[in-house]
Structure 1
Amino acid sequence: MLNLNDEFPLVPGLRYLNHAAVAPWPKRASDAVRRFAEENISLGARNYPDWLKVEKRLRERLMRLLNASSTADIALVKNTSEALSFVAFGLDWRAGDQVVISDEEFPSNRIVWEALKPRGVEVVQVNLGGSDPEGALLAACGPRTRLMSISSVQFASGLRLDLPRLGAGCRDKDVLFCVDAIQQLGAQPLDVQACDCAFAMADGHKWMLGPESLGVFYCRSDLREQLALHEYGWHMLEHAGDYDRTEWQPARSARRFECGSPNMLGAMALEASLSLLEEVGMDQVAASIEQRVLQLQEGLQRIAGIQLHSPLNPARRAGILTFSWDGWDNQALFARLREQQVICAQRGKGIRLSPHFYTDPELIEQSLTVLSQLRQG
């Protein structure tokens, strides 16, 4: 039987509410990396074929997590920004083309599109503050719109968008739909087929509980050859491993975006972490996160002067709750909380809290007590 205290041992005094930034690893990920290191010390790469089996399982887990149609749709990339760059600098843009984004995007999903300005591409930023953010985004898509790129969950407010509606709207308007899923994948179920995603990407170090520098890039099969390649090497070839072959072509699968040697160390950790999410089940993960966010919400609402900046409707959020406090400077409040070992982040209009499914409810109560004591002080 799964014991989450074994996977995430409690550290006395530590209240970790920062999974929307960088998450702790489960013990099984640490064990996998330790075994990998010990094997390297004693055997080097003698068992490399076994390492490739782990990488294969990782692709299969990511395929299931995204509900992609095949592992051929999955590329292992360094991070979300790299995958976004594959799209931005792979498409054949024409002067006057437009990209629609929101006005709340993390820089990764803004700068990459603004960098296309020399090619004549215009970035249209849409305000999400109204009652119908999806309607506003789709209304901004005109005849010159080539692509919509949106974070499924906004990093500062925690607003979760209706991806199936956006995907269907983009399809009807003949607009490519690109999803930065870093704040959803591992926290909420995500179905790239049901959402009509052309592209989706996420890092492994947040809700997927993995290491930094290893993420996933989903590229729909009919679009892979439409993205011009800008990185080349032995690993992205259709016949990778046939080193004597002089004729070559890019892999037909999404491996075409993986130019060189894989991050095998990261693969060991992320594959183990995803095995935990699969064991628990994404529906249960999402339900547990919602319970903890609701616990935080209700506790914060009991403290006079606190303003919540995240949606209160569970259908509009994943794992993020952001608040500010009248009379407190956000930076000063963040520093005081950190002194009390409440690990959070300063984002947007306030302090961002982000528990995961395994977060002990008692730690949430302790964090709320810390805030109450700050008020009393």
Structure 2
Amino acid sequence: MNDEFPLHADICYLNHAAVSPWPKRTQNAVSKFAAQNTEYGATYYLDWLKVEASLRQRLANLIGSPSSADIALSKSTSEALSIIAYGLEWSEGDEIIISNQEFPSNRIVWESLASKGVKLRIADIDDIEHQDAVEAIAAEINENTKLISISSVQYASGLKVDINRLGKICHSKDILYCIDAIQSLGAIDFDINKNHADFVVADGHKWMMGPEGLALLYVKPTIRDTLSIQQYGWHMVEHRGDYTRKTWEPASDATRFECGSPNMLGIHALNASLSLIEDMGIKTIEQQLQSNIAYLIEQLKTLPNVEILSPIKEADRAGIVTFKIAGVDSNKLYSELMQQSVICACRGGGVRFSPHFYTQKHVIDNAIKKVKSLTHT
């Protein structure tokens, strides 16, 4: 696996929750695609369409969808959420529930519906010692609740929400259920047959180890044609490619949400990255990632005055560990770690480390040593 991730020896890469390095096979796929463009133009376009079909199938497999026809390719998680938010029909007094830990993408889009008379309720999921996240979210449900939108893993704390249990609640109460899976797809197992999601969105540049600019949008087939379409073009029609046809109708499959030309470069990259996930198996990836997270937590605990802000229990965690050290400014520590080639992030009031399944233990050891050196602990 080291051959797939020839990261520079000088860096400790612990930032997969932001932007992941590409596997070697992804670099090779993009290089091949670039060479074909340079030397042959669009000669191989029919082959490129096969790569696109392969990507849709791999994304369908990753979320447990029975058909690649359920998969739309969006530019970003934000765009995918906007397609949902402005495709649904809203009535005055409808309510949406999110949590107080959501990334802005899964908050701003719902706040923007206030002009339509839609109210946003925000569940406090911080106190997981006394009330778990699902209980806190369920407590906000009332007769006006139309949709619950939740991140499967929270970007700052790393809290993993029991999306399967929450999905059962939504299903039993006939509430629409949207999962922002950007911090879980490619890292932990995900199955729409178990979580009853009506919508799933996720960009490919984090745990799926793909490029920025390409995201998954899943809409449950039984409600797909109830979403109004806000973007129009040659690509979203039923008879795509029949350019002389004067009449048109939206495609019956998920491509109805794709108005124009596909991001073929991103498609080649993400398809290659997902092939690695398929080769490894998501359960193996999850096991190895959890082993790395357990090791990271153990090493952080050796630091004096450290406070781990992320969940410790395996059931509540994914691939994110955020920490702070008493008396040390987290923003300053983050900046100094980056200067020392520990690639990380500053989130949620602390420093966020996010290894992946392939991260070697010595990378974590080196990062901890640099934390100790910088904080004099």
The TM-score range, normalised by the shorter chain, is over 0.9
**Alignment map for 1:158-173 (pairs within 5 Å):** 158-173=158-173
The equivalent of 2:184 in structure 1 is 184
The equivalent of 1:310 in structure 2 is 310
For the Cα contact (< 8 Å) 2:333–2:374, is it kept in 1?
A: no
User: Could you tell me how far apart the structure 2 residues matched to 1:10 and 1:112 are?
Assistant: 36
User: Could you tell me how far apart the structure 2 residues matched to 1:298 and 1:29 are?
Assistant: 33
1:360 Cα shift?
1.2
1:171 Cα shift?
1.0
The equivalent of 1:9 in structure 2 is 6
User: Could you tell me how far apart the structure 1 residues matched to 2:252 and 2:104 are?
Assistant: 31
1:141 Cα shift?
1.0
2:352 aligned with 1:352 = yes
The equivalent of 1:75 in structure 2 is 72
User: Could you tell me how far apart the structure 2 residues matched to 1:347 and 1:262 are?
Assistant: 33
The equivalent of 1:54 in structure 2 is 51
User: Could you tell me how far apart the structure 2 residues matched to 1:10 and 1:207 are?
Assistant: 16
2:296 aligned with 1:296 = yes
User: Could you tell me how far apart the structure 1 residues matched to 2:72 and 2:315 are?
Assistant: 30
User: Could you tell me how far apart the structure 1 residues matched to 2:308 and 2:45 are?
Assistant: 50
Deviations 1:195-241 (CA, angstroms, capped at 9, x unpaired): 00000000000000000000100110011111100000011111100
2:63 aligned with 1:95 = no
User: Could you tell me how far apart the structure 2 residues matched to 1:375 and 1:116 are?
Assistant: 45
1:375 Cα shift?
3.2
With structure 1 as the length reference, what TM-score do the two structures score? 0.98
One-letter code aligned to 1:24 = P
User: Could you tell me how far apart the structure 1 residues matched to 2:364 and 2:143 are?
Assistant: 48
User: Could you tell me how far apart the structure 2 residues matched to 1:205 and 1:30 are?
Assistant: 14
For the Cα contact (< 8 Å) 1:200–1:219, is it kept in 2?
A: yes
One-letter code aligned to 1:76 = L
1:187 Cα shift?
0.5
One-letter code aligned to 1:26 = P
The equivalent of 1:370 in structure 2 is 370
**Alignment map for 1:95-174 (pairs within 5 Å):** 95-130=92-127, 131-174=131-174
For the Cα contact (< 8 Å) 1:141–1:173, is it kept in 2?
A: no
For the Cα contact (< 8 Å) 1:72–1:254, is it kept in 2?
A: yes
User: Could you tell me how far apart the structure 2 residues matched to 1:41 and 1:370 are?
Assistant: 44
Q: Which runs of no fewer than 5 residues in structure 2 stay unpaired?
A: none
2:229 aligned with 1:232 = no
Deviations 1:162-199 (CA, angstroms, capped at 9, x unpaired): 11110010111110000000000010010012100000
User: Could you tell me how far apart the structure 2 residues matched to 1:281 and 1:267 are?
Assistant: 21
Deviations 1:245-273 (CA, angstroms, capped at 9, x unpaired): 11111001010000000000000000000
With structure 2 as the length reference, what TM-score do the two structures score? 0.98
One-letter code aligned to 1:117 = A
Deviations 1:30-86 (CA, angstroms, capped at 9, x unpaired): 110101111111100011000000000000100000001211110011010011001
One-letter code aligned to 1:57 = S
Partner secondary structure for residue 192 of structure 2: coil
1:339 Cα shift?
1.4
1:290 Cα shift?
0.6
For the Cα contact (< 8 Å) 2:328–2:375, is it kept in 1?
A: no
- List structure 1 runs of 4+ shifted beyond 4 angstroms: none
The equivalent of 2:340 in structure 1 is 340
User: Could you tell me how far apart the structure 1 residues matched to 2:151 and 2:320 are?
Assistant: 13
**Alignment map for 1:188-337 (pairs within 5 Å):** 188-337=188-337
Q: Which runs of no fewer than 5 residues in structure 1 stay unpaired?
A: none
Partner secondary structure for residue 218 of structure 2: strand
1:376 Cα shift?
2.8
User: Could you tell me how far apart the structure 1 residues matched to 2:297 and 2:366 are?
Assistant: 14
Alpha-carbon RMSD across the aligned residues, in angstroms, is: 0.8
One-letter code aligned to 1:178 = C
Partner secondary structure for residue 76 of structure 1: strand
User: Could you tell me how far apart the structure 2 residues matched to 1:46 and 1:129 are?
Assistant: 54
1:100 Cα shift?
0.3
User: Could you tell me how far apart the structure 1 residues matched to 2:280 and 2:327 are?
Assistant: 41
Partner secondary structure for residue 226 of structure 1: coil
One-letter code aligned to 2:97 = V
1:324 Cα shift?
0.5
2:16 aligned with 1:19 = yes
